[in-house]
Amino acid sequence: MSGLPAEFETNSVEGKFLNKLRGAVSLSNSFLCVGLDPDLRRLPEAVHGDVRVFLREIISATSDLVCAYKPNIAFYEALGEEGWKVLRDTIRSIPDHIPVILDAKRADIGNTARMYAEAYFEDLGVDAVTVNPYMGYDAVEPFLAYGAVFVLCATTNPSAGELQLLIVEGRPLYLRVAEMATKWAEGGEVGLVVGAKDPEAVREVRKVASDLPFLVPGVGAQGGDLEASVRAGKDGGGVVVNVSRAVLYTSSGQDFAGAAREAAVSFVERMRKCVI
């Protein structure tokens, strides 16, 4: 073992999700999370347009290398009525010991948020959901009654700074969000979404939220700095590094699953070098 699980084992936050995540990190010796984002325009010809087959093959090829999977709900909503069934079937095909983080970025008034939470945690059976902090704690709290949340904090999109870099009480808004999330963690399991495109932001958020796990997107197709982000965020609450397109669509041929595995192995090996 390279020591990857240690960051999670020293975390002071306890709960069902984090314990499951710790177990998956320990078993895979990996921080890798594969995003399950099926794009019909990019499916390999070998699956004949069958999204279920494509995702099952990807999961089968990578399940021993990951600490989590992250389906983005938009890719399933785009499939229409069948999309919800595909999403449910995909989640059920993931081995039970691997946590599922649903990327939905939801938040709403309490009663509506509770309906979202019931749909995701009760019907789909996910372990965590990404949420938007803009409406404040009462829009997030209903999710915490069902499972874990990852709060959007410092994202990777080009316009993120329009709000996230606004100075509020002497510091950027994204750091105020991190501070709030540490308080929200007193009422349940909370993590932060901190993009890999700005490792300095990862370091700054880690100073504020020392015990929270980070979900780190932006590696791979988005060009985020994998090594710098892992080093900046691995201590304390640990990191879960998401890679989607750079694993899913490495090959469009018959070997798509094997190529996805090779890509995943490469990312895992790079992460392991960051903590030796």
Q: Show which residues are catalytic.
A: 105
Between β-strands 239-243 and 214-216, what pairing exists: parallel, antiparallel or unpaired? parallel
For residue 123, the tally of other CB atoms under 10 A from its CB is 10
Using CA atoms, how far apart are residues 114 and 266, in angstroms rounded to an integer?
Answer: 39
Identity of residue 206: R
Using CA atoms, how far apart are residues 272 and 230, in angstroms rounded to an integer?
Answer: 9
Using CA atoms, how far apart are residues 12 and 29, in angstroms rounded to an integer?
Answer: 20
Q: Spell out the alpha helix ranges (H) of 93-131.
A: 110-117
Q: At what angle do helices 226-233 and 256-273 cross, to 10 degrees?
A: 50
